[in-house]
Structure 1
Amino acid sequence: MDIKLKRICIYPKDIQRITGKSEKSAQRLLTKIKKELGKEKQQFITTKEFAEYSGISIETIQEYLYD
């Protein structure tokens, strides 16, 4: 049985692919989301958190993630 696991963390490169923003803009956006969610610098943003923040469906976000 072949199970395909989907990544749950969002990185600046993912945000670039999804939004067309520059890498620096994507990094700033992640920092802003972390601050609003009360997360520390080393903590990750999940695809669900990014979907809720951006208003983009989680299914659409998953289509743009690197394998």
Structure 2
Amino acid sequence: MIQKRACIYPKDIQRITGRSERYGRKLLSDIKSFLDKEPHQFITVDEFSEYSGIQLDIVNKYIRD
């Protein structure tokens, strides 16, 4: 089984959405606020998928190791 990363980064959001990396940073910040996470905590692929409404299998296609 191929292991994929558990967390998502702004560059991943850029590839998924076609928007800028800066947009990805803002979106991650918005998700952290929504989920009441601390600034040092990561956002998982599952959390991003649930927040954005993009199916998990589509998100996983864009995640690189």
TM range (shorter): over 0.9
CA distance in 1, matches of 2:52, 2:30: 12
The answer for the alignment partner of 1:15 in structure 2 is: 13
Structure 2 counterpart of 1:25, which letter?
A: Y
The answer for the alignment partner of 2:60 in structure 1 is: 62
Higher-strand-fraction structure: 1
The answer for the alignment partner of 1:40 in structure 2 is: 38
Does the CA contact (< 8 Å) of 2:4 and 2:64 recur in 1?
no
Q: What's the TM-score once normalised by structure 1's chain length?
A: 0.92
Large movers: runs of 4+ above 3 Å: none
Task: Report the count of equivalent residues.
Answer: 65
Percent identity of paired positions between Structure 1 and Structure 2: 55
**Unaligned segments of structure 1, at least 5 residues:** none
Aligned-pair RMSD on alpha carbons? 0.7
1:18 counterpart SS class: helix
1:31 aligned onto 2:38: no
1:45 counterpart SS class: coil
Following TM superposition, by how much is the alpha carbon of 1:43 offset from its aligned partner in structure 2, in angstroms? 0.2
Say which one has the larger Rg: 1
